[in-house]
Amino acid sequence: MSKLERLLDWLRPVHRQWGVLIAVWALVGLTNLGGAELWDIDEGNNTEASREMRVANNWVVPTFNYELRVDKPALINWLQILSGMVFGEGEFAARFPSAIAGLLSLFAVWTFGRVWLGGLAGFVAALVLAGSPLFVAAMRFANPDSMLTALVSWCLVFLQMGMRSGRGVWWFYAASTCSALAMLGKGPIGLALPGAIMLVYLLMAGGWNRIPWFHLPGALLLWLAISAPWYIWVGTETKFAWHKGFFLQHNLGRFSAPMENHAGPLWYYIPVILAGTFPFSSLLLLPVFACDKQVRSTRMADLWPGLALVISWLMVPLVVFSISRTKLPNYVLPAYPAVALWLTLGMVVWRRGWITPPAWLVRIGMASMVVAGIAMAVGLLVAGGAIPLGSLAPKLKPLAGLEWVAPVGLVLALGGCAGMFLAHKALPSIGLVAATALAFTITLGSWNGQTLNQHKAPRRLAAQLPPDLALREARLGTFDWFQPSLVFYAKRPVDRLSAEKDLITYLRHPIPAYVAMPVARWEALKGKVEGAGEAGEVLPDFYRRCEVVLIGNAAARADR
């Protein structure tokens, strides 16, 4: 018996699988979680909205910059407020709810894989998900996508478990609860997405008679009891202005037209999923061999209901968000658990000897790891300035610090090189890809983009303000530049000035006034406001690829 086989035997008890899975989650999702300053735009918006709700002791109406915010329902804010009460206000507390949601998603695919494929399949599926870079990135990011993925996953797991067992109806109400919470976390997609997935699944695999239709009204009433009170309350508090902005602009509007320049072709999410699950996606074609007629007729019959749900779970989000005119990589995140289960199917049937994929196909997958690893390492060296491009890209400004992350690409390259010699062996190949993927995501998670802090302006701009600014009569604004996290770090309203005349009037105010703006704009305006000048050092902002400076009027400079 090989060492890998002895390790698998050791892992068979459920408590050991749970222990290893929680340890992997902690390494992937919690290491240096608060190391990076808030990422704009989403993290700045969500975290500041939660801070304002906590300060105002208002758990109903979301605000940002002390104005109504209609982008998201309030569940993410509630969780961030509770997290802040435990860990203290900051980046770690803002991201911790997403990390917990990531753990729930891991246990969802563990449960589904164990019930569907048996043995250690659930554990493998959870490791695949934990080794998927985009899923890990969402787990470390302060927005509702990780939470939506967890709730949709458990909704589908409860439905599948209930239909499979046929005993009791608790699972029907549990699925309804998950959908209702998803409605509070992300909006109508929390109901529409699992509903559409189950509809497609029933059309593919049947099972209409196993749905407890008699309990449908009760499940609907439970769904309304959980989700409706807040929607009604926020509507009455805002005279339904929140509903108008959220449902019409941020749901129908995003679906029907590109918003904030986030457009993309119909095939946008195919490379996103391939990159987001790499290097496991190098084995994406393995399950196709299980669809061979002989294999399907002799061994796959019992697996078909679960496979039909996995296919529906993967294809519905992919199709829906591909049709949507507004596209962002994180939109398709709810499909990632299905991708993990699909990949696990291929690994399981290969390991059991049901299929024998050609060695050349596996070697192509391993070679893609080598190419991707080398490309990533070179790209980071270029982006960090360690490899100057000179006249090839004269406008490219390097981001110092990225060059130190380049060795992470070698993790992929070395794993791919080793895999080239194991392409004919199922268990060693699968183990190598899993080890490479987890080493890759753990390393990226430990870095967490922390070296880019020196290229973010908001926190250091806020540090240049007088420490007691929030307690004094003073003003803070921005001109031709704005990042939402500035409001969070400054802990006060930020006025957005849109015209030069507004800026001049602002700086002529008799009370202290500060304005953050691009250096290039300030150079053109110097001398137009008597007494105004730089109130801090020049800072880089890699979002806008410009330098930003804090300007103070005469009263502000005298006050310092």
Phi and psi at 482, nearest 5°, equal -165, 135
φ, ψ for residue 309 (rounded to 5)?
-70, -40
pLDDT score for 90:
94
The tokens describing 378, both together, are 């070179």
> Do residues 522 and 544 touch, judged by C-beta distance below 8 A?
no
Q: List Cα–Cα distances, 483 to 338, 488, 537, in angstroms.
A: 35, 10, 18
Q: Mind listing the pLDDT tens digit for each residue in 269-325?
A: 999 999 999 999 988 888 777 666 555 566 666 778 888 999 999 999 999 999 988
Instruction: Report whether 509 contacts 529 (CB < 8 A).
Output: no
pLDDT in tens, 180-204: 999 999 999 999 999 999 999 999 8
Q: Is residue 61's pLDDT more than 90? A: yes
CA distance 150 to 129: 12
User: Cα separation of 85 and 99, whole Å?
Assistant: 17
Helix (H, G, I), strand (E, B) or coil at 291: coil
pLDDT surpasses 80 at 367: yes
**What is the per-residue DSSP string for 391-402?**
GGSTTPPP-TTG
pLDDT in tens, 379-433: 999 888 888 766 555 567 788 888 888 899 999 999 989 888 876 778 888 888 9
Using CB atoms within 10 Å of the CB of residue 349, give its burial: 0 to 12 exposed, 13 to 18 middle, 19+ buried: buried
Token pair for 170: 């608790």
Q: Where are the domains of the chain?
A: 3-357, 360-450, 458-559
* Cα→Cα distances 461→261, 486, 499, 525, 557, Å: 27, 8, 21, 20, 15
- Beta pairing, strands 67-68 & 63-64: antiparallel
The span from the CA of 548 to the CA of 534, in Å, is 11
Q: Which residues pair with 84 in a beta bridge?
A: none
Strands (E), 293-389: none
pTM, two decimal places: 0.94
